[in-house]
């Protein structure tokens, strides 16, 4: 009998603080599996955000830095420029990346900074108790949109992957989901491709991972996966938004 599935080495054997059924756990594991498979644990340095995953630095086995809210792409830039042979990734949620961190996100992308961003999109601010995010869907009820997001007064959600794909700096942008096993398998492939592109020095890579927040959505983990597929995927379409390898020179 051979072990065909076990904890990757890049994910420390410690319990996490995430809620039951929170997809952060799945995404952490996928990143760690990719790091293991590419053999880059030694030279990988990750940057944790402010949000539910603020303690991500306790879970990954590689060197980690904790960044101020929204600043992870700038921190990652400092690391990568200081140590060009390192593999640097940022792990960010909706508020971190698309609210306070919009400038840092756009400019790291347009500089073609050789870093990889894993963007965890769950349409809500989890850590602070379920407030509206830049990615909250129209009509979605949150603590700060208690009557449902009213686009007239509260604006429209941002499709980050599409927005960044208009820039020349990014080398690979794909939106994936972790709502089912087939989607999880595709998500891992995308994350792996993003890291490989970084290893090849091709430019900025971002994988937007549609995720759930059972606690703040008020749903069970399984119901939340269904909600994601029914409501988020129609608005945030899955697929490759930019691939430099497919562009005609």
Partner 1 sequence: MEDKVLMKGNEAIGEAAIRAGCKCFFGYPITPQTEVAAYMAKMMPKLGRVFLQAESEIAAINMVYGAAGSGVRVMTSSSSPGISLKQEGISYIAGAELPCVIVNIVRGGPGLGGIQPAQSDYFQATKGGGHGDYRLIVLAPSSIQEIIDLTSRAFDLADIYRNPVMIMGDGMLGQMMEPVQFKEVKGREVPEKPWATCGLYGRERHNVITSLFLAPEECERHNLKLNNKYKEIEKNETKFELYNCDDECDFIIVAYGTMARICKNLINMADKEGIRIGLIRPITLWPFPKAAFEQVIGLTRYGFLCVEMSMGQMVEDVLQVVNGRCPVEFYGRCGGMVPSPDEILVKIKQILNQREGVI
Partner 2 sequence: MPRVYFKEENCKGCCLCIKTCPKKIIIISDKLNNKGYHTAAILEENMKNCTGCASCARICPDVVIKIEK
Q: Which residues bind partner 1 (CB under 8 A)?
A: 41-45, 47-48, 54-55, 57-58, 60-68, 71, 74-83, 86, 103-104, 106-107
Binding mask 178-217 for partner 2 (x = CB under 8 A): --xx--xx----------------------------x---
Cα 48 to Cα 45, 142, 202: the distances in Å are 10, 25, 23
Element (H, E) at 52: none
Shortest Å, Cβ 134 to partner 1 = 18
Shortest Å, Cβ 209 to partner 2 = 13
Q: Provide the CB-side half-sphere exposure for 175 (13 A, CA).
A: 20
Nearer to partner 2, 25 or 169 (CB): 25
Nearer to partner 1, 45 or 178 (CB): 45
Shortest Å, Cβ 243 to partner 1 = 25
Nearer to partner 2, 86 or 121 (CB): 121
**Phi/psi at 156 (5° precision):** -105, 155
Query: For residues 144 and 106, is the Cβ–Cβ distance under 8 A?
Result: no
User: What is the number of other CB atoms lying within 10 angstroms of the CB of residue 111?
Assistant: 15
Ordered alpha helix ranges (H), 111-218: 151-154, 160-165, 181-199, 214-217
**Site residues (vs partner 2, CB under 8 A):** 1-7, 11, 15-16, 18-26, 29, 180-181, 184-185, 214, 220-222, 225
């Amino acid at each position: 009998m051979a072990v065909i599935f076990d904890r990757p080495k890049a994910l420390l054997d410690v319990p996490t603080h995430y809620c039951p059924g929170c997809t952060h756990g799945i995404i952490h594991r996928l990143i760690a599996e990719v790091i293991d498979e590419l053999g880059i644990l030694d030279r990988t340095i990750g940057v944790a955000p402010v949000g539910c995953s603020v303690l991500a630095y306790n879970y990954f086995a590689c060197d980690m830095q904790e960044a101020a809210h929204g600043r992870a792409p700038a921190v990652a830039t400092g690391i990568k420029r200081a140590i060009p042979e390192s593999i640097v990734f940022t792990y960010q949620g909706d508020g971190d990346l698309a609210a306070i961190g919009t400038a840092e996100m756009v400019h790291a992308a347009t500089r073609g900074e050789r870093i990889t961003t894993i963007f965890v999109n769950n349409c809500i601010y989890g850590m602070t108790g379920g407030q509206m995010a830049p990615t909250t869907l129209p009509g979605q009820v949150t603590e700060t949109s208690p009557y449902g997001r009213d686009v007239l007064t509260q604006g429209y959600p941002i499709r980050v992957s599409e927005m960044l794909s208009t820039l020349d700096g990014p080398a690979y942008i794909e939106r994936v989901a972790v709502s089912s096993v087939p989607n999880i398998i595709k998500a891992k492939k995308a994350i792996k491709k993003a890291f490989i592109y970084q290893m090849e020095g091709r430019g900025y890579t971002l994988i937007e991972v549609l995720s759930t927040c059972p606690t703040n959505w008020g749903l069970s983990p399984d119901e939340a996966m269904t909600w994601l597929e029914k409501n988020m995927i129609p608005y945030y379409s899955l697929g490759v938004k930019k691939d430099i390898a497919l562009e005609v020179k």
